[in-house]
Structures are given as C-alpha cells and as structure tokens.
Amino acid sequence: MILLKRLFQLYSLWLSIVLFLLLHALLLFSVASKTVRAQSTPIPTPTTISLPLADPISSTAPSLIGTDAKPGLSQGSILTTPLIYAHQDRTVASLEGPLAADVAPVLTIWYGSTQSFGHLGNPQRWVNLLGNVTPKRFLASLVYSLNGAPPQPLSLGADKRRLAQDGDFNVELDTNALQDGVNTVVVTATNTSNEKSAATITLNYTAGTVWPLPYTTNWAGAASIHEVAQVVDGEWVREGGTIRPTWLDYDRLVGIGDRSWTDYEVVVPVTIHA
C-alpha cells in the first residue's frame, strides 16, 4: 500500500513537470511569433506632397486650403534708421541718430538769457531763475555758479511740488548774495558720457527799490511778465490781458508787491477754464 502511494506521488510530480515544460514552450512560441510578425511588417513609404513655393513677402499667396487660406502679406520695406520714442509730459519726441547719452544735454532757460529783478521792489527774499534740462535720464549732474563762485548743485524735477516736470530746475538766489547791478549765473549740465552744456544768464538786480503802492498791473501793455511782476515758480505766458502757466501743477506763483508792505488790499480777477 505504501509502495502504491509513493508511485502515485512520483507520477504526479512527473506530470506537473511535463505540464510546466509544455506551458513554457507554448509561451516562448507565442512571443517569438509576435516578434517575427512585427519585424516582417513592411514600413510604409512616406508620401511627398509638392506645393508651389511663393515669395514670403508677396502681394499674393497660393490658395492651399480653398477659401480658408490666409491672405498674403503686403510688400514691406526695411527701416534703415530705428526710431526711439522717448515719452515726455509736454511732448512725445521721436529721436533719430545717436543715443541721447552721447549728445550734450539741452538746457532751456525760461524768460531768456537776460532777466531783471528788484527794479520794482522785492515781493520776497529770493529771486528765481527757472528752466528745464533734457534728457534727465542720462544726466549726471546739474550745477550753477553765481559770479564765479564754486558750483552749487541743483535739484531736478519732477518732485511733485515746485518742480513739476522731469528736468525742471529752479535757481533760487538770496537777494543778499546779489550785487547791485549786473550779476552772472552759469548753469552747467553734464551727462553720463561727460558731455556738457552751459547756459549763461545775465541777472540785473536793482537794490533798495520799494514796490509802489497803490499798484496796477497791465499784462497786455507790458513787454514781458518780468517788467510788471516777478515769477517765482513755473513757466508763464501772456495771453491778451491775462497770464497763465503753461503747465498746471502745485504752487505756480507770480509775485507782486513788496516785503515792506504791512496793510494792503488786493483785487485779482481770476478765470477758471473747465
């Protein structure tokens, strides 16, 4: 009985081995068959479609997809001189040629190169020489000198107060520092390329005069604003019988009167343009 049991166990083991080998052989045959089929499948030859070539910058283009094709490009031209647009508050300028850093700064002195103060009196302790320098972006320094004295630095706008625009400046001089008669003020601007510009202002100062009272200002009959008043801040122009600032901003001032006045009444017509 024991012998039969042992024979049955050996037979079962042998049968299991045979079945395992058969299954393994079938699996290898299946993988090899798929590999052969994959390798024997011919690779399709790509189809070449020839399309007519067109000038990429042409007034007409071939229709490739019927009515869905995009229209052709119009004939253009090559721009030989690039345009650089510099944004400014007063104007938008188109700058051509060399970069602004290689060009000397441009100084503009409002109210001219010869200005007079004190001939009517002194409405304040100071006199003001006003102007603008461009371009501010490349400016390294801005200084002034009074009667050959060492240069003094100037503040540059815009500062959201008295200096309204980029590059605005105000040379504010104490009347006690002025000599009676002719004074010379030199404003010098230097950019980052060490290019310099200088403007010379002849400042005629009359000391000891007291503004008359009563006093009436006739804007239309005057040769200039400085003939009948003293500009403190801003660039002003005359229009008929009135004056107005060219740029509205904080603290645009024109002085009339004298520091020695104590009691007085002022009548000033003002027109507001909405």
CATH 1.20.59.20 is right for the domain spanning 101-255: no
pLDDT (0 to 100) of residue 87: 36
Structure confidence at residue 17 (pLDDT): 78
**Residue 204: band (very low, low, confident or very high) from pLDDT cuts 50, 70, 90:** very high
Cβ-contact 232, 254 below 8 angstroms:
yes
Q: Averaged over 110-136, what is the pLDDT?
A: 96
pLDDT given for residue 125 in this prediction: 97
pTM of the model: 0.63
Phi, psi (deg, nearest 5) at residue 108: -120, 120
Between residues 145 and 14, the one the model is more confident about? 145
Give dist(CA 162, CA 146) in Å, integer: 22
- Per-residue pLDDT tens over the stretch 30-53: 545 554 454 545 555 555 545 444
The whole-number pLDDT of residue 252 equals: 87
The answer, yes or no, to whether residue 2 has pLDDT greater than 80, is no
Closest by CA to 110, choosing from 157, 179, 176, 55, is 157
Q: What percent of the chain has pLDDT over 70?
A: 65
More confident site: 202 or 81: 202
Q: Is 98 left (phi over 0), alpha (psi -120 to 50) or beta?
A: beta
Question: Cβ–Cβ contacts within 10 Å for residue 46, how many?
Answer: 6
* Residue 79 banded pLDDT, cuts 50, 70, 90: very low
pLDDT band at 68 (very low <50, low <70, confident <90, very high): very low
Q: Which residues contact 266 (CB under 8 A, 6 or more apart)?
A: 257
Using an 8 Å Cβ cutoff, are 255 and 124 in contact? yes
Q: Mean pLDDT over residues 236-261, rounded?
A: 90
Reading the block at residue 227, the tokens are: 């003939």
How would DSSP label each residue in 228-239? HSEEEES-EEEE
Report the 3 state secondary structure along 146-188.
Answer: ECCCCCEECCCCCCCCCCCCCCEEEEEEEHHHCCCEEEEEEEE
**pLDDT for the residue numbered 149:** 97
How do the domains of the chain map onto residue ranges? 101-255
